[in-house]
Amino acid sequence: MALGFSGKSVTFGPILKRDFYARPTVEVARALLGKVLVHGPAAGIIVETEAYLGSEDLAAHSARGLTPRTRVIFGPPGHAYVYFIYGMYECFNLVAEPDGHPGAVLVRALEPAAGLDLMWQRRPAARKLEDLTSGPGKLTLALAITRAQDGADVTRGSLVVRQPVERRAIEIQTGPRVGISQSTDWPLRFSIKGNPFVSRA
């Protein structure tokens, strides 16, 4: 058991199965809110996501077609896609859609739920709890997710997404994605309304 949703207790339920991810990317991005991302002893509740679609979405890496870098996005759902950005941060995505159809969900922010001592050690720049995992580069540092996990099967192993045992009612807020230069007005950013751990970008 750990704390989540602003101080309320949360326990981790079963690991999400592959069919959870084998559906339209937007559905997956919305459904991930409130689920628990776990990597080893550290975990956080997903409070913000962004959907990246197929070739028609010019902000998506898959718009460039099948390459060694994007191979994972075109593969079976339920795998991690981790990439390096700005020469300093790694970003964690979950592959959606059936095999052969590109789609990925960027996990933008978490509410810390377990392994907080480790997270503080890994994120010494954080000055308050709300800053610990409130951004895509912050959460990968806090959970020690690196490109070594690129392609990992998140339906088993040490890097997984779980159901919370107690599902809480949430209100989903929708808006445009951030940090991109194309398809900037598409309403594909989703967050739990009012949650203090949502990124400020």
For residues 78 and 34, give the distance between their C-alpha atoms in angstroms, rounded to a whole number: 17
Token couple for 113: 């739920």
Helix (H) or strand (E) holding 142: helix 136-142
Average pLDDT, the chain: 92
Question: Phi/psi of residue 113, each to 5°?
Answer: -135, -20
- Confirm if 51 and 114 have CB atoms less than 8 A apart: no
Check residue 97 and report its DSSP letter: S
Quote the distance between the C-alpha of residue 34 and its chain's center: 11
In angstroms, the CA 49 to CA 26 distance is 10
Q: Given 3.40.140.10, 3.40.630.30, 3.10.300.10, 3.50.50.60, which CATH number is that of 2-192?
A: 3.10.300.10
Q: In this structure, which amino acid lies at residue 141?
A: L
CA separation for the pair 172, 187 (Å, rounded): 12
The secondary structure element, H or E, covering residue 36 is strand 36-39
State residue 168's pLDDT score.
81
Domain ranges for the chain, please list them.
Answer: 2-192
Q: Tell me, what DSSP letter sits at residue 79?
A: B
Tell me which H or E stretch contains 20. Answer: helix 18-21
Q: Taking Cα atoms as reference points, which of 113, 133, 111 lies closest to residue 122?
A: 133
Placement of tokens 């950005």 in the chain: 85
User: Contact, 103 vs 25, CB < 8 A?
Assistant: yes
Mean pLDDT within 184-195: 96
Q: Per-residue DSSP letters for 149-192?
A: GTT-BTTSSSEEEEEESS-----EEEE--SS-SSSTT---EEEE
Residue 4 has pLDDT above 80, yes or no: no
Give the pLDDT confidence of 87-114 residue by residue, as tens digits: 678 999 999 999 999 999 999 999 999 9
pLDDT tens sequence across 114-149? 999 999 999 999 999 999 999 999 999 999 999 999
